[in-house]
Amino acid sequence: MENFSIDQLLYLVATAFFIVGIKRLSKVKTARSGNLLAAVGMALAIAVTLITPGAGIQLDWKVVAVGAIMGTLIGGVMAKKVEMTGMPEMVALFNGFGGLASTMVALSEFWGRNFVVGPSDNVILGNEVWVIAIILSVLVGTVTFTGSLVAMGKLSGKISGNPVILPGRHFIVAALLIGGAAMGVMAGFMQESYDPTAMILGLTACAAVFGVVSVLPIGGADMPVVVSLLNSYSGIAASMAGFVIGNPLLIVAGALVGAAGMILTIIMCKAMNRSLGNVLVGGFGGDTPSGGNSGGADEYTSYKQASPEEAAMILETAESVIIVPGYGMAVAQAQHVVKELAEELEKNGADVRYAIHPVAGRMPGHMNVLLAEADVPYEQLLELERINNDFKTTDVCVIVGANDVVNPSAIEDPQSPIAGMPILNAHESGTSLMIKRSLSAGYAGIKNPLFERENNYMCFGDGKAFLQSVLDELKEV
């Protein structure tokens, strides 16, 4: 660090690649090149590290080769194999791995400096900073890891999406944090009195439990926000690992991701009209209704039902149609049928558009990705603000596997848990067709008065199968 060195300069170039990459990722036209630029920056950073790892550092090539080959193969295969519907889980998992890696870097440094190359040898930033950076990167990295795993479990349905409220959890969380930090301090600064290995592992364990306990009480509907927040954490963990090894590239890249992830998280919270604090406290929403304010099937007394034939008849005469996709479309893999139906309706002379709610699906932009996969023209996808006034003048609104995002109680019932959340005004359209498997509640776990509206028809069935029969009917005519 003291003298001018070419490797540090190349790290600076890599940093510039990351910044330009993120910038370009934020525009549709340049996004792909932005991702590519960031990847080039990463390749450059890895190459520089391999060629000049730093003064007096001798890399063990077997370790490098084994790790790099395994990681590349596993990551590559997972990225190729994953279904578009499984994308949110995959992002959560990759994110968790990043956090875990940062934890391991800190642990390995701690271990190596304490037992292999000598206590304060080669520590660039001074012992106190080094220890604190290690404690923070173990803490944040491990929380990212276990939190992401729980989030992944909730997204994929392996763990119940219901909020799990432990008694006295605020106390537990505080105790874990304080206890973990105390053990970290003992590991770093009181090595004569305490076994540093046991203490640092104790810190890791506390952080691991902390991650699980913090995500469990949060309902499945809020998982996108959690994944986004954890993405921010993994950046912070990488940044802290940068302080551990005294590398400005890690510090900058990690901080960029930490800040960008935080902004994205706040944007997502705003879309649901809730504060980040409100999301993190948890207890909101779940897979199945619970408590007095729930939306079980027996709560609905009068609703109209439509068969595929009836739905086809309604659609046949429609001149304007808006399709509202939701997570149900992703689960049923119905995006291709939706596209075919839209084409058929257009042949009929109807104007077809898609209304995308900012939190439809399990991640922001989830629906866009799925519909893009089915080759739906980009111009037909309209965001909430741009299409919401058009429902009034639309003949038919087809709701495919969405529920909470079209729940009118958000604007009509100030007592509703989702009061104030922006919704798509599907209830204002001439007729709405709600394609859904049952009358069960959505992720927010509340009743949807739209079901009982005069102009709404419930179309029970699997999204894909139902739309396919509607499509067949339309083609016959």
Partner 1 sequence: MIFLLMLFVFVLAIFAGNELISKVPPTLHTPLMSGANAISGITIVGALMCAQFGNGGGVSESAATILGVCAITFAMINVVGGFMVTDRMLSMFGSKKKKK
| Catalytic sites, residue numbers | 404
Q: Tokens for 58?
A: 């001798």
- As a whole number of angstroms, the distance between CA 186 and CA 27 comes to 48
What is d(CA 388, CA 385) in angstroms, rounded to the nearest whole number? 6
CB of 144 to partner 1, least distance (A): 9
Entry field: residues in the chain: 477
Closer to partner 1 at the Cβ: 137 or 456? 137
Whichever of 134 and 441 has its CB closer to partner 1, that residue is 134
Work out how close the CB of 345 gets to partner 1 at its nearest, in angstroms, rounded to a whole number: 19
φ, ψ for residue 20, nearest 5 deg: -65, -40
Q: Do residues 9 and 1 make contact, with C-beta atoms less than 8 angstroms apart?
A: no
Give the Cα separation of 59 and 48 in Å (integer). 13
SS (H, E, C) 195-252: CHHHHHHHHHHHHHHHHHHHHCCCCHHHHHHHHHHHHHHHHHHHHHHHHHHCCHHHHH
Cα(427)–Cα(376) distance, integer angstroms = 24
Cβ closest to partner 1, residue 50 vs residue 178 = 50
Closer to partner 1 at the Cβ: 2 or 192? 2
What are residue 338's phi and psi, to 5 degrees?
Answer: -55, -45
Choose between 66 and 419: whose C-beta lies nearer to partner 1. 66
CB of 266 vs partner 1, minimal distance in Å? 10
Comparison of 84 and 465: residue with beta carbon closer to partner 1: 84
Task: In angstroms, give the least distance from the CB of 40 to partner 1.
Answer: 10
Handedness of CA 176, 181, 187, 192 (dihedral sign): negative
**Nearest approach, Cβ of 182 to partner 1 (angstroms)?**
23
DSSP H or E stretch at residue 109: helix 87-111
CB of 152 to partner 1, least distance (A): 13
